[in-house]
C-alpha cells in the first residue's frame, strides 16, 4: 500500500531539510575559504603608469590579506582591447580582474568606433581604488600667481597663450579643453608625446601652461621654474592643500583620473564583494596612503555601487570635453 499523501510530503520535506542542513555548512565553508588560489590583476598599460602603480601597491597588500598571491598581468595594446579580451577569455570565477583608469570607458569609446568591448555589457565595477589629480601649472615668467589672475590674462589676450598636453585625447588635453569651454578662453593646444616631453616644454618656455601630475612638476615648483595655480579634482588635495580646486570657480569641474578594479560580467557576487571589502580596507592603511601620495595619487576605496556612479559621472563630463575639443572618432 502506498503511504498517505500527507505522510509522503512530510517525509520529502524532512529529507530536504536534512540535506539542506548538511549542505549549508559546505557552502559556508566554500564562501569563507575564497580565494583558494592566486588572483590576477590585468592592467591595459605597460608597467610604470598610473593604473600599474595602483595595481601593484594594492596587489601586494591584497595578497597578504587573502593569503593568496595577486599577480599583475600587463596587457597593453589596441586601446584596451587586449586587456578586455584577456578578462573576457578567463573563467568568470572571481580570480581575474581588470585594473584600469576611466579613459578605457570614457575617452576610448569616443575616439575609436570599433573597440570590441562595452563597459555596460562586459564589466562589473568592484572598487574605486584611487584618484590622481592633475595640476594647472604655468611657467615662472607668466605674470600671474593665482587661478583668477590666469583667467583674467587669458581673457585679456585671447589666442596668445599656448598649452601643452601629453597628446590628443589625453586627460591633460581634455581637462584644458573643458576648462577653456567653461570660461570661453582661447588658448592654443600644442600636443606632445607624453609628459616626458610636455613638462620640459613648459620648463623651457615653449608653452606657457599645462596640466600635469604633481610628481612631474614638484621639483620645478620647488626650484621656482613653475607655479601651481589649481587642481582639476573636485576638491583640494591633501598633497597641496593651499592649491585651490578649479571646482571652486567652475561648479562641478572634476577631471582627476580615477583607477579602479572591475570584474567580467557573470563573476560571482561573493567574490566581487570580498575583493571590494578588502580593497576599501587597504585604501585606509597609512602605509598605502603614504606610498600613493608619493606617486601623486590619493587612496579612495569604495563599494561597487559608488564606483559605478563614479564611472558614469566621469563618462558624462569627458563626453562634454571631447565634444568641446572637436575630436572625431577614427
pLDDT of residue 129: 98
Mean pLDDT computed over every residue of the chain: 90
The one-character DSSP state at 127 is: E
Lowest mean pLDDT among 12-26, 114-128, 241-255: 12-26
Domain coordinates of the chain in residue numbers?
Answer: 34-131+256-325, 134-248
Nearest to 206 by CA among 215, 197, 214: 197
Pick one of 3.40.50.300, 1.10.3260.10, 3.40.190.150, 2.60.40.420 as the CATH number of 34-131+256-325.
Answer: 3.40.190.150
Q: pLDDT grade, residue 9 (50/70/90)? A: very low
pLDDT of residue 134: 97
The one-character DSSP state at 48 is: T
- Chain segment 252-292, per-residue pLDDT in tens: 999 999 999 999 999 999 999 999 999 999 999 999 999 99
Top-level class of domain 134-248: alpha beta
pTM of the model as a whole: 0.86
Q: What is the dihedral of CA 229, 232, 236, 241, to 10 degrees?
A: -40
Largest CA distance in the chain: 103
Give the SS3 label for residue 139.
Answer: strand
Beta carbons of 308 and 315 less than 8 angstroms apart: no
pLDDT of residue 78: 87
- Chain segment 178-220, per-residue pLDDT in tens: 999 999 999 999 999 999 999 999 999 999 999 999 999 999 9
- Chain segment 81-126, per-residue pLDDT in tens: 999 999 999 999 999 999 999 999 989 888 888 888 988 999 999 9
CA 190 – CA 197 distance, rounded (Å): 11
pLDDT of residue 83: 94
- Mean pLDDT of the region 127-147: 98
Beta carbons of 201 and 192 less than 8 angstroms apart: yes
Give the SS3 label for residue 302.
Answer: coil
Neighbours of 284 (CB within 10 A): 11
Phi-psi region of 301 (alpha: psi -120 to 50; beta: other; left: phi over 0): left
- The C-alpha R_g of the chain, in whole angstroms, comes to 24
Rounded to the nearest 5 degrees, what angle is found at the Cα of 283, between the Cα atoms of 67 and 61?
A: 25
pLDDT at residue 7 greater than cutoff 50: no
Beta carbons of 195 and 121 less than 8 angstroms apart: no
* First vs last C-alpha separation in the chain: 78
- Chain segment 152-169, per-residue pLDDT in tens: 999 999 999 999 999 999
Neighbours of 203 (CB within 10 A): 18
54 bridge partner residues: none
Q: pLDDT grade, residue 27 (50/70/90)? A: very low
- Mean pLDDT of the region 69-73: 98
pLDDT of residue 74: 97
Give the chain's count of helices (H) and strands (E). 12, 11
Domains 34-131+256-325 and 134-248 share a fold: yes
CA 299 – CA 313 distance, rounded (Å): 19
pLDDT of residue 32: 62
Amino acid at each position: 500500500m502506498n503511504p498517505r499523501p500527507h505522510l509522503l510530503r512530510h517525509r520529502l520535506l524532512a529529507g530536504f531539510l536534512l540535506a539542506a542542513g548538511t549542505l549549508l555548512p559546505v557552502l559556508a565553508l566554500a564562501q569563507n575559504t575564497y580565494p583558494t588560489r592566486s588572483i590576477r590583476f590585468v592592467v591595459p598599460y605597460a608597467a610604470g603608469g598610473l593604473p600599474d602603480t595602483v595595481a601593484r601597491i594594492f596587489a601586494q597588500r591584497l595578497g597578504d590579506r587573502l593569503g593568496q598571491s595577486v599577480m599583475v598581468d600587463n596587457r597593453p595594446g589596441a586601446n584596451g582591447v587586449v586587456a578586455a579580451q584577456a578578462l573576457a577569455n578567463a573563467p568568470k570565477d572571481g580570480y581575474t580582474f581588470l585594473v584600469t583608469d576611466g579613459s578605457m570607458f570614457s575617452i576610448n569609446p569616443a575616439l575609436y568606433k570599433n573597440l570590441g568591448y562595452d563597459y555596460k555589457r562586459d564589466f562589473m565595477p568592484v572598487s574605486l581604488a584611487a584618484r590622481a589629480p592633475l595640476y594647472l601649472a604655468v611657467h615662472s615668467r607668466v605674470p600671474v600667481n593665482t587661478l583668477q589672475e590666469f583667467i583674467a590674462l587669458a581673457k585679456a589676450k585671447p589666442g596668445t597663450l599656448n598649452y601643452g598636453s601629453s597628446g590628443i585625447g589625453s586627460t591633460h588635453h581634455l581637462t584644458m579643453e573643458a576648462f577653456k569651454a567653461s570660461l570661453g578662453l582661447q588658448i592654443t593646444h600644442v600636443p606632445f608625446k607624453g609628459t616626458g616631453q610636455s613638462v620640459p616644454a613648459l620648463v623651457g618656455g615653449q608653452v606657457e601652461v599645462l596640466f600635469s601630475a604633481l610628481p612631474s612638476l614638484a621639483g620645478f615648483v620647488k626650484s621656482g621654474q613653475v607655479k601651481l595655480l589649481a587642481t582639476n579634482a573636485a576638491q583640494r588635495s591633501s598633497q597641496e592643500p593651499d592649491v585651490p580646486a578649479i571646482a571652486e570657480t567652475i561648479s562641478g569641474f572634476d577631471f582627476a583620473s580615477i583607477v579602479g578594479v572591475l570584474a567580467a560580467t557573470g563573476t560571482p557576487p561573493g567574490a566581487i564583494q570580498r575583493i571590494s571589502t578588502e580593497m576599501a580596507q587597504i585604501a585606509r592603511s597609512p602605509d598605502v596612503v603614504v606610498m600613493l601620495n608619493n606617486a601623486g595619487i590619493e587612496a579612495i576605496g569604495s563599494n561597487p555601487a559608488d564606483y559605478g556612479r563614479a564611472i558614469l559621472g566621469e563618462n558624462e563630463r569627458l563626453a562634454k570635453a571631447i565634444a568641446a575639443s572637436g575630436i572625431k572618432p577614427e
